[in-house]
C-alpha cells in the first residue's frame, strides 16, 4: 500500500516536472491574433462567462485556446489572467475579416494550426504577431474600418422604382448615396445613432474619417453594393443607423436635412438597418506601428502577407452567408417595409432653437477615443 502511494506520488511529481519543462520551453508571451469569422448564429464577439444560452465567438475561441494547450483551463474561466482584450465588440450576427485580440499565451509549436484544429471552419486564426508586454488591442487601436454589404434595391425610390431584386442601381442614385454618406465625415454628435446616450454626453461625439459606397456587382441574380466606413471608434448600432438614415432619405421617406438635424439636441427617429451585412474589415494601429513597428524587437501590426487568406475567407464564408441569408430570410426587404412607420418629422418642432447646438457640436475636431466601440 505504501509502495502504491509512493508510486502515485512519484508519477504526480514526474507529471508536474514535465508540465514545468513544457512551460519553460514555451513561456507565456503577449501576442495578437488576427481573426476572421462569420457571425451568423452568434450573439456577438464578447464572451459572457456564466451565460451559456447565448453563444459568442469568444466562447469558441477560448475553448480552442484551452484544448490546444496555449492557455491553462482556469484562464478560460477568468480571462483577465491571460490579459485578454478584443479590439472591437462586434454585435449579434456581425462578421469580421480582420478582428484583433491581444492575450498572453504559451508559444507552443505549430500554434496557429493547433488552435484552428479546435475551431469550427467559419472561425479562423489567420495570423499571429508578438507585441509589447503592455499592449492592449482596444486602447492602442487608432481606427476601425467596417464594410456593409447590401442589396441595391435598398436604394430604390419608394414611389417610382421597382422594389424587387431585378432593380439595378443607376449612376445618379449612387452619386446621391455617396453625397449623403460624405456628410458623416468629420466629428459629429451621434447621440441619435445609439441608445442610452444623451445629447450632452461627450462620448456621443465621434470622428469619421471616410464613408462611401463602391460600384455595384451582381451575385445570384441580386445586385449588391458595399459601403465602407472608417472611424476612430463606433458606438453600439451607430453604423447600422448611419446607413439606415441614408436609405430612408434615398428611398424618399425623409428629407436630406434630417442628417444635420440628427446632430442637434432633439431626439430624431433614426431607423437601424439589419445587422446581416455588417463586417469588421480591419483595425488600424498607426501610432503603435510608428513607435514599435521598426524597433528591431517587434513587427508592425500590418497584415499584407495575410491579405490573400482574408480575401479567400470572405469569399468562402462571409459573402455567401450574407447573400444566402438575404435570399432565404429577406432581412433587408422585410426591414424596408418598416420604414413607412417611422415618423421622420416628429421632432421638427424646436429645430431652429437646436440648430445652434448642432453647429457647435459639429465644429469640434477630434474624438473621445475608443472607450466603448461596439458596433
CA distance 349 to 174: 32
Cβ atoms of residues 375 and 238 within 8 Å: yes
Predicted pLDDT of residue 73: 87
Cβ atoms of residues 73 and 66 within 8 Å: yes
Instruction: List Cβ<8 Å contacts ≥24 apart for 324-327.
Output: 325/40, 325/276, 326/151, 326/222, 326/276, 327/220, 327/222
Residue 193: which of 139, 231, 240 has the closest Cα?
240
Whether residue 157 sits in one domain with residue 109: no
Establish if 358 belongs to a structural domain: no
Q: HEC profile for 27-38?
A: CEEEEEEEEEEC
CB neighbourhood size of 163 (10 A): 15
Asked about 91 being catalytic, the answer comes back as yes
Give me 238's grid cell. Answer: 451607430
Whether residue 74 sits in one domain with residue 47: yes
CA torsion, points 10, 14, 15, 16, in degrees to nearest 10?
100
Whether residue 160 sits in one domain with residue 57: no
CA distance 248 to 270: 9
212 labelled binding-site residue: no
Predicted pLDDT of residue 365: 27
Residue 178: which of 112, 107, 229 has the closest Cα?
229
**Residue ranges in the chain modelled with pLDDT below 70:** 1-26, 50-52, 347-375
Nearest 5°: the CA angle 276, 142, 115 is 60
Establish if 193 belongs to a structural domain: yes
Cβ atoms of residues 237 and 91 within 8 Å: yes
- Tens of pLDDT along 84-137? 999 988 888 899 999 999 999 999 999 999 999 999 999 999 999 999 988 999
Q: What are phi and psi of 38, to 5 degrees?
A: -95, 120
The domain containing residue 49 runs over which residues?
A: 26-140
Q: Assign residue 307 the CATH number of its domain.
A: 3.30.70.660
Q: Assign residue 30 the CATH number of its domain.
A: 3.30.70.580
CB neighbourhood size of 55 (10 A): 15
Whether residue 247 sits in one domain with residue 104: no
Residue 263: which of 209, 204, 339 has the closest Cα?
204
Residue 26 Cα distances to 19, 71, 110, 111, angstroms: 10, 11, 12, 11
Predicted pLDDT of residue 123: 98
Q: Which of 59, 60, 78, 91 is an active site residue? A: 91
CA distance 139 to 77: 23
Whether residue 203 sits in one domain with residue 159: yes
Task: Name the strand (E) or helix (H) holding 272.
Answer: none
Give me 324's grid cell. Answer: 444566402
pTM: 0.83
Whether residue 161 sits in one domain with residue 119: no
Amino acid at each position: 500500500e505504501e509502495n502504491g502511494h509512493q508510486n502515485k506520488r512519484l508519477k504526480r511529481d514526474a507529471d508536474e516536472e514535465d508540465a514545468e519543462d513544457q512551460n519553460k520551453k514555451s513561456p507565456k508571451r503577449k501576442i495578437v491574433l488576427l481573426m476572421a469569422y462569420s457571425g451568423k448564429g452568434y450573439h456577438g464577439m464578447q464572451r459572457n462567462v456564466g451565460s451559456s444560452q447565448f453563444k459568442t465567438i469568444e466562447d469558441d475561441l477560448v475553448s480552442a485556446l484551452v484544448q490546444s494547450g496555449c492557455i491553462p483551463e482556469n484562464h478560460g474561466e477568468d480571462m483577465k489572467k491571460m490579459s485578454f482584450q478584443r479590439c472591437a465588440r462586434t454585435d449579434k450576427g456581425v462578421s469580421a475579416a480582420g478582428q484583433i485580440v491581444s492575450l498572453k499565451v504559451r508559444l507552443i509549436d505549430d500554434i496557429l494550426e493547433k488552435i484552428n484544429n479546435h475551431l469550427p471552419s467559419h472561425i479562423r486564426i489567420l495570423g499571429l504577431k508578438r507585441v509589447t508586454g503592455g499592449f492592449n488591442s482596444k486602447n492602442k487601436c487608432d481606427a476601425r474600418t467596417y464594410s456593409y454589404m447590401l442589396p441595391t434595391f435598398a436604394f430604390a425610390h419608394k414611389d417610382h422604382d421597382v422594389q424587387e431584386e431585378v432593380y439595378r442601381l443607376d449612376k445618379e442614385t449612387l452619386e446621391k448615396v455617396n453625397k449623403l454618406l460624405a456628410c458623416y465625415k468629420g466629428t459629429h454628435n451621434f447621440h441619435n445613432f445609439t441608445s442610452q446616450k444623451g445629447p450632452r454626453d461627450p462620448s456621443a461625439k465621434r470622428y469619421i474619417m471616410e464613408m462611401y459606397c463602391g460600384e455595384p456587382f451582381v451575385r445570384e441574380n441580386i445586385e449588391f453594393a458595399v459601403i465602407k466606413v472608417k472611424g476612430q471608434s463606433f458606438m453600439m448600432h451607430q453604423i447600422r443607423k448611419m446607413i439606415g438614415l441614408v436609405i430612408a432619405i434615398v428611398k424618399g421617406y425623409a428629407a436630406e436635412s434630417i442628417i444635420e438635424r440628427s446632430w442637434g439636441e432633439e431626439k430624431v427617429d433614426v431607423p437601424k438597418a439589419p445587422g446581416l451585412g455588417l463586417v469588421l474589415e480591419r483595425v488600424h494601429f498607426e501610432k503603435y506601428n510608428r513607435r514599435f513597428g521598426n524597433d528591431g524587437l517587434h513587427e508592425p501590426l500590418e497584415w499584407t502577407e495575410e491579405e490573400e487568406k482574408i480575401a479567400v475567407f470572405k469569399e468562402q464564408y462571409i459573402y455567401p452567408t450574407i447573400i444566402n441569408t438575404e435570399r432565404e430570410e429577406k432581412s433587408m426587404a422585410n426591414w424596408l417595409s418598416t420604414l413607412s412607420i417611422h415618423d421622420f418629422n416628429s421632432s421638427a418642432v424646436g429645430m431652429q432653437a437646436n440648430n445652434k447646438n448642432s453647429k457647435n457640436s459639429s465644429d469640434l475636431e477630434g474624438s473621445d477615443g475608443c472607450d466603448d466601440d461596439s458596433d
